[in-house]
Amino acid sequence: MMKKSIAIIGAGPAGLMAAEVLSQSGIKIDIYDAMPSFGRKLLMAGKSGLNLTHSEPYEIFLSRFGNRKQEIAEHIKLFTPDDLIAWAKTLNVETFVGTSGRVFPKEMKASPLLRAWLKRLQADGVIFHVRHRWQGWEDGHLIFDTPNGIKKIKPDATILALGGASWPKLGSSGDWVPWFLQHGVKVNSFQPANCGFTVNWSTFFIEKFHGSPIKSVILTFKDFKQQGEFVVTRTGVEGSLIYTASAKLRDEIASKGNAVISLDLVPQLSKEKLIKALSRPRNSRTLTNHIKVTTGIHGIKMGLLYEFISKEDLNNIEKLADAMKSLCIKLCAPNSIVTAISSAGGVSFEELDRHLMLLKMPGVFCAGEMLDWEAPTGGYLLTACFAMGRTAGNGARDWVLK
């Protein structure tokens, strides 16, 4: 009897986790990727320490997935953040919890984990195929463009873990969408997620402050309110605090043309205390020095005040205090999806069963960022991709062996 086979296309976290689930099943497992090596986006994430998951309470963790919380929870409950930490330990990767609650490998790198993982998968019989760019289906076969020409295969099941549309140079180009549409599968348009935004800075502000961090501010936008930091770029703003609010900001810009955020530049001081401090005699001090001496505001925060507040208001103590507690900045557009950390949009969950199999294409499973969901940075993206990879792997195994 011929051995059953499953093809996995995409060697990121979801695809590799699906391969791991299947590696002990007695099924022939082939994993294909268009790039010359596996896990390139995982390695890119590792450049900032590889934030694997988050240590916050489970219900709060699930809330980070917004309007897809219910769908994502079905997979994460079977592979929780604690399970992910335990799994990393089986690869001899010890983790620690950072001050923000984020969980990282102690080595702060992705490469040791990826090397150990790939080595284990190969030892378990998983067959790797690099430089195999998937070209869709033809007469029930998977078509690949390879260095040796076109290759056709017909596995007993297929797991697609193709990524979204951010950082296409690392392999997630989104060029697979037309093949799904041809089969009647609904794919929602890709949008940038965890992205920066453009701001019409003055030339003076850009030259003086681009690349500078804005630390310890509270960003408010509608029902979003959080303290953190972000960075000024030549074209606008980016960084963790901006990324956390990016979905709401992106959607506001799509509907209204812009989004106005409010910054509290001095969270530690109330407006009343600011007014009292600013009311002290200036004597011979310049306005800039007086603000610095009395409120502690200087550097880029001072630059923001001069960028957005009129000269008259700068010299009006109450209006200046208002600006310090609620400085309004208009964001004009999200940055390109090409540079976004992740993407929203993709295959609609309504097209899938609970095992992540396409209802219109039995035996074809989807996992990871190619599905229509999003989450902020903080380990949420990776945890969900790992979890969905496991769901798809288990589903494909049960489908093949039924």
Domain membership of residue 297 as a residue range:
197-334
Do 35 and 182 lie in a common domain? yes
Q: What is the DSSP string of 159-191?
A: EE----SSSGGGT---TTHHHHHHTT--EEEEE
- The per-residue pLDDT for 227 is 96
> Which of 292, 316, 334 delimits the end of a domain?
334
CA–CA separation, 135 vs 142, rounded Å?
A: 7
The set of long-range contacts for 357-361, using a CB threshold of 8 Å and a minimum separation of 24, is 357/395, 357/396, 357/399, 358/185, 360/183, 360/184, 360/185, 361/183, 361/185
Least confident of 42-51, 256-265, 376-385: 42-51
pLDDT score for 2: 74
Percent of the chain with pLDDT over 70: 100
214 shares its domain with 345: no
Mean pLDDT of the 201-226 span: 96
Model confidence pLDDT, tens digit, residues 330-347:
999 999 999 999 999 999
Instruction: Give yes or no: residues 262 and 318 share one domain.
Output: yes
The secondary structure of residue 333, as a DSSP letter, is: E
Quick check: 22 pLDDT over 80? yes
* Per-residue pLDDT tens over the stretch 155-186: 999 999 999 999 888 888 899 999 999 999 99
Note the pLDDT of residue 47: 80
Does 18 share its domain with 138?
yes
Q: Which amino acid is at 351?
A: E
Stretch 238-254: mean pLDDT: 95
Q: Please say whether the beta carbons of 180 and 197 come within 8 A.
A: no
pLDDT at 3: 87
Mean pLDDT of the chain: 95
Query: pLDDT tens across 124-150, in order?
Result: 999 999 999 999 999 999 999 999 999
CB atoms within 10 A of CB 119: 11
Q: For 275-296, what is the mean pLDDT?
A: 93
Q: How open is the CA angle 43-45-49, to the nearest 5 degrees? A: 100
Lowest mean pLDDT among 47-51, 295-299, 374-378: 47-51
Say if residue 107 is in the same domain as residue 91.
Answer: yes
Q: Are residues 344 and 362 in the same domain?
A: yes
Q: Is 81 in the same domain as 180? A: yes
On the question of pLDDT at 199 being above 90, the answer is yes
Q: How confident is the model at residue 189 (pLDDT cuts 50, 70, 90)?
A: very high
Contact in structure between 377 and 51 (CB atoms under 8 Å): yes
The pLDDT tens digits for 49-94 are 899 999 999 999 999 999 999 999 999 999 999 999 999 999 999 9
State yes or no: pLDDT of 48 exceeds 80: no
Are 355 and 258 part of one and the same domain?
no
Share of the chain above pLDDT 90, in %: 92
pTM of the entire structure?
Answer: 0.91
Q: What is the domain count for the chain?
A: 2
pLDDT of 1 strictly over 70: no
Assess whether 153 and 218 both reside in one domain: no
* Bridge partners (DSSP) listed for residue 252: none
Looking at the fold, whether 26 and 172 belong to one and the same domain comes out as yes
Band (361; pLDDT cuts 50, 70, 90): very high
Tokens (6 digits) for 327: 């400085």
Does residue 275 sit in the same domain as residue 141? no
- Both tokens assigned to 217: 């501010």
The pLDDT of residue 168 is 84
From 310, 334, 358, the end of a domain falls on 334
Q: Verify that 78 and 46 share a domain, yes or no.
A: yes
The predicted pLDDT at position 136 comes to 96
What is residue 283's predicted lDDT score, i.e. its pLDDT?
87
- Asked if residue 41 has pLDDT above 70, the reply is yes
Q: Which of 334, 362, 378 is the last residue of a domain?
A: 334
User: What CATH number has the domain bearing residue 94?
Assistant: 3.50.50.60
Comparing 44-48, 339-343, 374-378, the range with the smallest average pLDDT is: 44-48
- Rounded mean pLDDT of 23-41? 94
Q: Is-contact 379 341, C-beta < 8 A?
A: no
